[in-house]
Amino acid sequence: MVILSLNCGSSSAKYQVYDWDNKDVLAVGVVERIGLEYSTIEHKATGKEEFTDKFSCPTHTEAVELIIKMITDPKYGVIKDVSEIGAVGHRVLHGGELFKKSALVTDEVVEQLKTVIPLGPLHMPANIGGIVAARKVMPNVPHAIVVDTAWHQTMPAEAYMYAVPYEWYEKYNVRRYGFHGTSHLYCAKRAALLLGKENKDTNVIICHIGNGASVCAVKNGVCIDTSMGLTPLEGLVMGTRSGDMDPAIMPYIMQHTGLSAKEMDTALNKKSGLLGICGMSDRRDVANAAAQGNQKAQLAVDMECHRIKKYIGAYAALLGRVDAVVFTAGVGEMSTLIRKGSVSGLESFGICLDEHKNDICLCRNAEFEISKDDSPVKIFVIPTDEELVMTEDAFALMNGTYDVHTNFHYSFEDASYVNKARARGLVKNLEKKPELADIIAKPKRK
């Protein structure tokens, strides 16, 4: 039996096929440019030739049909028939206050998700469209939603409420929700394993740094605060998002430029962040430009690191005791520059980076410890695996064994857990860079 995970964006549909019996990834891929003149698909199946081509996908229904066609293709596919799919897990951006954990999809759930669209107007229509499309193509397969905001539902009111008129919360659900929940869940539980602690005894600060980025404070195994808010705009300096700013900037600029509310929203979400400062959003481009003396690029790097460091310090104060700082997601896993800048000067907090370990840690196929050997607070680089969380939630919901994460045990919480795809990749990484073996973090809890 296989589990299919789907992550549908406004014009894309990412997917993964997971062999539940053998605990291995069979295929991954993405359909892009949905709704445009032509769509593209990139399909990678383990042990097979990579496939790319162009097709017509006017809607997500055609995209899902294309995905099913690819994974059952005699040459490039990994299963013979759609009947081998035991469940489908769908990533959903926003659950509002309706969904505190993952749930099986019903007609009622779809209608409930539609009421949350105002809280995530850029993502929710596509998420819902993907669910509707997949249920149409696979009507006899159980479907599950895995909600980004669910992990953060343990925040206390003093953390999730805004100091605005209380009726805004009562009438319009204005509060902090947080995002990247599946990533934070995975990393929190992996960090506890690496520390040799039970989840309930673990305090960690997780820095999920990608094009979108957020920091999460985890106390006794649950989220108590996070940097993103009502939407994914708040918090850190991101690729194209502003993060924290004085709200008065908006009416000020609107009065001077005539920008509409929609145009201002676009400016803050798509034209700000690193892109707004230096004209580039890819951290690799920004780092290269900074190294070549581009002052705006250097400013962008400094601003991003400053903001991350500020959140780490604030969350250290909230936690009282910090066991580890975790870096994850594309930038957190692969940018030595951002990691170094984000913890530099935090030695008084017990957070002591080993620069050599950090410099050689450029690998996404293992978990690494990059703190000094005597650092009171460990610094881990943990490649996230949101798809595995989606897969396990979907299977458990189908099987009737699922529960909220504090009462549920994931396979990756076991010391014996191995990501087979990453293990294969690590062998090749070690052949090219043997010194990586010295910084691999190993589970200390059995």
pLDDT in tens, 379-431: 999 999 999 999 999 999 999 999 999 999 999 999 999 999 999 999 999 99
The secondary structure element, H or E, covering residue 21 is none
Q: Is residue 311 part of a domain?
A: yes
Asked if the structure places residue 445 within a domain, the reply is: no
Q: State which of 381, 412, 428 marks the end of a domain.
A: 381
Side-chain-side CA neighbours of 335 within 13 Å: the count stands at 28
Tell me the sheet residues that pair with 44: 28
Average pLDDT over residues 230-250: 95
pLDDT at residue 9, as a whole number:
79
Task: Tell me, yes or no, whether 227 lies in a domain.
Answer: yes
Same domain, 124 and 217: no
Whether residue 339 sits in one domain with residue 211: yes
411 domain residue, yes or no: no
Q: Are 368 and 357 in contact, with CB atoms under 8 Å apart?
A: yes
142 with 202, same domain: the answer is no
- d(C-alpha 209, C-alpha 225), whole Å: 16
* Strands 213-219 and 204-209, sheet pairing: antiparallel
Q: Is the residue at 350 inside a domain? A: yes
Q: Which of 147, 165, 183 is the last residue of a domain?
A: 147
Q: Averaged over 242-250, what is the pLDDT?
A: 97
Asked if residue 98 belongs to a domain, the reply is yes
**Residue 111 within a domain:** yes
Residue 370: which residues within 8 A CB-CB, separation 6 or more?
Answer: 339, 353, 354, 357, 358, 361, 379, 380, 381, 439
Separation between Cα atoms, residue 13 and residue 26, nearest integer Å: 17
Q: Annotated active-site positions, please? A: 148
What CATH number does residue 36 fall under? 3.30.420.40
Grouping H, G, I as helix, E, B as strand and the rest as coil, residue 39 is strand
* Torsion of the alpha carbons at 409, 413, 419 and 420, rounded to the nearest 10: -80
Segment 159-182, tens digit of pLDDT:
999 999 999 999 999 999 999 999
Q: Note the pTM of the prediction, 2 decimals.
A: 0.94
Q: How many domains does the chain have?
A: 2
Domain that holds residue 6: 2-147
Is 434 within a domain? no
Shared domain check, 135 and 8: yes
Do 6 and 60 meet the contact criterion of CB atoms below 8 Å apart? no
Mean pLDDT of 272-283: 95
Per-residue exposure over 119-143, b if at least 16 CB sit within 10 Å of its own CB, e if not: bbebbbbbbbbbbbbbbebbeebbb
Q: Cβ(174)–Cβ(360) under 8 Å?
A: no
DSSP H or E stretch at residue 275 = helix 273-278
Which tens digits make up the pLDDT trace of 184-230?
999 999 999 999 999 999 999 999 999 899 999 999 999 999 999 99
97 vs 155: CA distance, rounded Å: 12
